[in-house]
Amino acid sequence: MFETVKEVIIDTLSCAAEKVTMEANLFDDLGADSLDAVELSLAVEEKTGITIDEDAMAEIKTVADIVNYLEAHK
């Protein structure tokens, strides 16, 4: 699941692959803003078929948060 999320993050945020780790903060480390978070949520849903609801997305801060959410909801 991490590799899938990593691919989506690289495509959506146009960031370097080596920056995308489980511990990476979407905002501080990867440079995402609130609009990027929405785009990322939609891209993850398109790639995995799993919807991240708005309340959950507001709580997501790291790559690990996304992976853990997807693992719990697949």
CATH architecture assignment, domain 1-73:
Orthogonal Bundle (1.10)
- Interior/surface letters 39-62, b for 16+ CB within 10 angstroms, e for the rest: ebbebbeeebeeebeeeebeebeb
Average pLDDT score over residue span 64-68: 97
Judge if pTM exceeds 0.75: yes
Question: What's the CA gap between 37 and 40, in Å, rounded?
Answer: 5
pLDDT band at 23 (very low <50, low <70, confident <90, very high): very high
Categorize the per-residue pLDDT at 26 as very low, low, confident or very high, splitting at 50, 70 and 90.
very high
pLDDT reported for residue 11? 96
Say if residues 10 and 20 touch (Cβ distance below 8 Å).
yes
Distances in Å between the Cα of 62 and the Cα atoms of 29, 32, 69, 74 are 9, 11, 11, 19
Residue 52: per-residue pLDDT? 94
Q: Whose CA is closest to 72, among 55, 54, 50?
A: 50
Residues carrying an active site annotation: 33
- Domain extents in the chain: 1-73
Percent of the chain at pLDDT exceeding 90 = 95
